[in-house]
């Protein structure tokens, strides 16, 4: 179960202030002057230093330990993993694929600077999916090596963990980072609101087409192997994304979501380990490297992206005590 960090406040509480006032009135005196006036809630907020809501150190530890995950980040280079599948996502399109528990997958910049919008689901339940909001609350606005991708409630467990990130951008002087969980996918509904026209190749539409194509592929495939799943995906299962390779932040003056050209170069990749059996999908964003504003005109250059899936050598995970993640242990009573 997640624990909220306990951060002692240096400020006097409302209850203590009220009790002090009550004691003064009991004795028939009022010693308050203008300098002792109760601070306003606005003053309290402005004077209080930021309080990190979730203590990351209180999360369940990585199964198998941190050393195992460092090993996973170099497993391919050290010949401890075997390539099982290689895919190419065409420009302005999307693909969906399966990743068995304990396998690695990479999204790779193969031709030129390009960002991707990524979804993932439990391979046995399309209602359990990546939960960008909770992931952002637990980790940060932008993700990198060691961060976990959490699923939605009532399941709330790690679906995947980032094992390698060759960009490793950090945060720049404008507060921008890479691989964000603050922006949603571009979609045709917002596009219509802003332009009054239909556009069918936004990431939401790309992911929807990929989901329906995935369903058809499964229906046409009678072979129940690691590469298939029984779930049926619909548009309603498309969810807020991990913006892979995307460089974003909030402006300091107006606090609006902004983008910068992605720093990704050919050969860069982000790598994950599946903490349970997954279906993963990614869209090559029609905005390319997102150096142009959405709906702002211009024709972005869009490139394909590569996907690679690896099976780890026998015993590497199990020998360290790793096992697939379990759904959240909360009883679900909700006080009823």
- 3-state DSSP assignment of residue 60: coil
Average pLDDT of the chain to the nearest whole number: 89
How far apart CA 204 and CA 237 sit, in angstroms, is 11
Whether residue 91 lies inside any domain: the answer is yes
> What does the pLDDT read at residue 39?
87
Q: Looking at the structure, tell me whether residues 53 and 153 fall in a common domain.
A: no
Whether residue 78 lies inside any domain: the answer is yes
Backbone torsions φ then ψ of 107, nearest 5 degrees: -110, 125
Q: Looking at the structure, tell me whether residues 271 and 134 fall in a common domain.
A: yes
Q: Looking at the structure, tell me whether residues 50 and 76 fall in a common domain.
A: no
> What does the pLDDT read at residue 331?
96
Looking at the structure of the chain, the number of domains it has is: 2
Tens-digit pLDDT profile for residues 169-226? 999 999 999 999 998 999 999 999 989 999 999 999 999 999 999 999 988 886 545 4
Q: Looking at the structure, tell me whether residues 15 and 45 fall in a common domain.
A: yes
Whole-structure pTM value: 0.87
Q: Looking at the structure, tell me whether residues 130 and 241 fall in a common domain.
A: yes
Whether residue 325 lies inside any domain: the answer is no
Residue 306 clears pLDDT 60, i.e. is over it: yes
Q: How crowded is residue 196: how many other Cβ atoms within 10 Å of its Cβ?
A: 7
Name the domain boundary from 58, 73, 95. Answer: 58
How far apart CA 226 and CA 229 sit, in angstroms, is 8
Task: Give the residue with greater pLDDT, 263 vs 220.
Answer: 263
Q: Looking at the structure, tell me whether residues 153 and 214 fall in a common domain.
A: yes
Lowest mean pLDDT across 27-31, 52-56, 224-228, 231-235:
27-31
Whether residue 332 lies inside any domain: the answer is no
Whether residue 102 lies inside any domain: the answer is yes
Q: Which residues pair with 108 in a beta bridge?
A: 269, 306
How far apart CA 132 and CA 146 sit, in angstroms, is 16
> What does the pLDDT read at residue 5?
40
Contacts of 11 (CB under 8 A, 6+ apart): 39, 44, 47, 48
> What does the pLDDT read at residue 127?
98
Whether residue 331 lies inside any domain: the answer is no
Q: Looking at the structure, tell me whether residues 144 and 97 fall in a common domain.
A: yes
Q: Looking at the structure, tell me whether residues 81 and 197 fall in a common domain.
A: yes
Whether residue 254 lies inside any domain: the answer is yes
Name the domain boundary from 58, 78, 95. Answer: 58
Q: Looking at the structure, tell me whether residues 45 and 148 fall in a common domain.
A: no
Q: Looking at the structure, tell me whether residues 37 and 122 fall in a common domain.
A: no
Whether residue 336 lies inside any domain: the answer is no
Q: How crowded is residue 173: how many other Cβ atoms within 10 Å of its Cβ?
A: 5
The domain in which residue 30 lies consists of: 1-58
Q: Looking at the structure, tell me whether residues 12 and 148 fall in a common domain.
A: no
Percent of the chain with pLDDT over 70: 86
How far apart CA 158 and CA 276 sit, in angstroms, is 8
Q: Looking at the structure, tell me whether residues 68 and 54 fall in a common domain.
A: no
């Amino acid at each position: 179960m997640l624990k909220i960090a306990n951060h002692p406040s240096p400020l006097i509480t409302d209850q203590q202030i009220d009790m002090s006032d009550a004691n003064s009135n009991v004795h028939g005196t009022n010693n308050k002057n203008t300098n002792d006036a109760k601070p306003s809630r606005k003053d309290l907020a402005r004077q209080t230093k930021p309080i990190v809501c979730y203590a990351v150190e209180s999360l369940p530890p990585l199964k198998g330990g941190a050393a195992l995950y460092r090993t996973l980040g170099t497993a391919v280079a050290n010949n401890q993993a075997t390539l099982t599948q290689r895919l190419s996502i065409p420009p302005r399109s999307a693909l969906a694929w399966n990743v068995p528990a304990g396998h690695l997958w990479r999204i790779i910049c193969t031709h030129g600077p390009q960002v991707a919008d990524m979804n993932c689901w439990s391979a046995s339940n399309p209602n359990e999916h990546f939960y960008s909001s909770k992931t952002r609350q637990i980790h940060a606005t932008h993700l990198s090596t060691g961060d976990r991708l959490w699923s939605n409630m009532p399941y709330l467990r790690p679906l995947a963990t980032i094992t390698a990130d060759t960009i490793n951008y950090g945060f720049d002087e404008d507060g921008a980072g890479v691989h964000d969980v603050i922006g949603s996918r571009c979609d045709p509904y917002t596009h219509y609101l802003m332009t009054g026209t239909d556009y069918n190749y936004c990431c939401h539409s790309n992911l929807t087409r990929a989901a329906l194509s995935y369903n058809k592929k499964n229906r046409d495939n009678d072979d129940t192997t690691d590469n298939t799943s029984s779930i049926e995906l619909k548009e309603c299962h498309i969810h807020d994304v991990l913006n892979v390779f995307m460089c974003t932040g909030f402006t300091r003056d107006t606090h609006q979501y902004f983008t910068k050209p992605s720093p990704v170069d050919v050969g860069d990749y982000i790598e994950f380990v599946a903490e349970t059996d997954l279906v993963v999908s990614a869209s090559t964003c029609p905005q390319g490297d997102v150096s142009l504003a959405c709906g702002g005109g211009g024709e972005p250059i869009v490139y394909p992206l590569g996907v690679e899936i690896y099976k780890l050598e026998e015993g590497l995970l199990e020998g360290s005590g790793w096992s697939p993640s379990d759904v959240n242990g909360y009883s679900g009573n909700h006080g009823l």
